[in-house]
Amino acid sequence: MKRFQGKVAIVTASTQGIGFGIAQRLGSEGASVVVSSRKQSNVDEAVEKLRDQGIDALGVVCHVSNAQHRKELVEKTVQKYGHIDVVVLNAAANPSVDNILNTKESVLDKLWEINIKTSILLLQAAAPHLRKGSSVIFISSIAGYQPQQSMAMYGVTKTALLGLTKALSTEMGPETRVNCVAPGFVPTHFADFITKNEVVRKTIEERAALGRLGTTGDMAAAAAFLASDDASYITGETLVVAGGMPSRL
């Protein structure tokens, strides 16, 4: 299928893991994809991989907390392609495993800034260039539904994205749909501290009705569905992709 033929997609934090998987899936379905991360070497490597697969890819260095980087990400996209159709907001940080009441103010600030604030600021920059029928996808987490002690404040920021999805779906509609994917546990570099622990991994697998961890492909498929015209009557919703792990009724 080529659901994104002629469309342009920006995916933040997209040189590896879930972000790269989403960029790869959108590109394989015809999109021109703009990938970004903090390091030029990672950006170059991701672009090369995508182009080797026949995907039209542009790479831009972007630390999402850097205002100039955000501006350049949008400007370079528009300069090359003229418009934006899909924005996937995947960048996130989890710098602490402290309990909430023991979390330092600097860590609270970083969690708020990277996981929530920068997504809003990037959308402010991108919104004037979004075409009618465009789509915004937030990447939240199963932890947003039930924050666990070792990642509680991270989970709370992911809960905030569920509300942001609802609020922006009203504000940006009907021209732009806004939805959210809440991944379960996926063995990526970001989640190494959880998924490489055999005891913890086994516990997670046992809690999932499907008895396994997720894959980047699972998350990419969900994001591509929500971004596509197949989901043209879906907005303000969060799709939990967690193998049946407890989330909500």
The torsion angles phi and psi of 137, rounded to 5 degrees, stand at -125, 120
Helices (H), the chain: 17-28, 40-52, 67-81, 105-112, 118-126, 152-172, 192-195, 198-207, 216-227
Active site residue 154: yes
Interior angle at CA 222, CA 218 and CA 228, nearest 5? 140
Question: What single DSSP character describes residue 56?
Answer: -
> In the sheet that 84-89 helps form, which strands lie side by side, from edge to edge?
57-61, 32-37, 8-11, 84-89, 130-139, 176-183, 238-241
Catalytic residue among 81, 145, 154, 233: 154
The answer to whether 35 and 57 have CB atoms below 8 angstroms apart is yes
The answer to whether 24 and 55 have CB atoms below 8 angstroms apart is yes
Distance CA 185, CA 180 (A): 16
Residues marked as catalytic: 154
